[in-house]
Amino acid sequence: AQTVTQSQPEMSVQEAETVTLSCTYDTSESDYYLFWYKQPPSRQMILVIRQEAYKQQNATENRFSVNFQKAAKSFSLKISDSQLGDAAMYFCARTYSSGTYKYIFGTGTRLKVLA
Amino acid sequence: GAVVSQHPSWVICKSGTSVKIECRSLDFQATTMFWYRQFPKQSLMLMATSNEGSKATYEQGVEKDKFLINHASLTLSTLTVTSAHPEDSSFYICSVRDRGLYNEQFFGPGTRLTVL
């Protein structure tokens, strides 16, 4: 089945603290890509970080990093030094159907940042 | 990344009318665009893959006669919701695919459709 699961509908974090959002997925493909997108209240989808499945090294982008466990099909997002502007819906996504590289999205995690 | 625009950003129409939504890739030649639908507090659901110069490919359960997609150029794809009904009210988002290293998608700002 083509599924991406985000088991945390909502998370809260204190400003300046660290939070981890979880994502697991199903796939039988070997060639795929994983992404985290942020959707603020404006609803514009913004790419946060990306990971190639064949790379063991975890991706990092400034305060954002991932813990990619390919065998476990897990792709969690860690946000360090959380800021008020990080408050948003976060969606995990992976590509499927190599050739078109369509996305399947997870159900989303709403992140609240507390001042 | 690619800059993607959508027009209109918000549209209200009467039941039974048709509505056209445009998706433009402003700085990128997009051979592949995608159309999504997002209900309130839900995730994005892929409706169809729009390929320049060919027919769109629709996901299972999406009525292709209701949601007409045209990708006539490398910078423009349109989604026409025909004979719209209140249940078609939703947020519609397009994206363009970058065929570079990551095959990532860049998203438009979305169009809110309300059918009365």
Name which of B91, B102, B110 is nearest A33 (Cβ-Cβ). Answer: B102
CB contacts, 8 Å: B110 with chain A: 43-44
Cβ neighbours of residue B9 closer than 8 Å, sequence gap 6 or more? B109, B110, B111, B112
Kindly report, residue by residue over B20-43, the tens digit of the pLDDT: 999 999 988 888 999 999 998 899
Listed in sequence order, the residues at least 6 apart from B41 whose beta carbon sits closer than 8 Å to its beta carbon are none
Say which residue the tokens 């939070």 belong to: A19
Give the model's pLDDT for residue B58.
95
What mean pLDDT do residues B83-91 have?
96
| Arithmetic mean of pLDDT, B84-111 | 91
Q: For residue A53, what is the nearest residue in chain B, using CA coordinates?
A: B102
Is residue A37 scored above 70 in pLDDT? Answer: yes
The closest CB to that of A44, out of B57, B97, B107, belongs to B107
- Asked if the bond preceding B8 is cis, omega within 30° of 0, the reply is yes
More confident residue, B67 or A2: B67
Q: Would you say how long chain A is, in residues?
A: 115
User: Does the beta-carbon distance from A91 to B44 stay under 8 Å?
Assistant: yes
Task: Give the torsion sign (CA, A97, A102, A108, A113).
Answer: positive
Return the higher-pLDDT residue of A30 and A83: A83
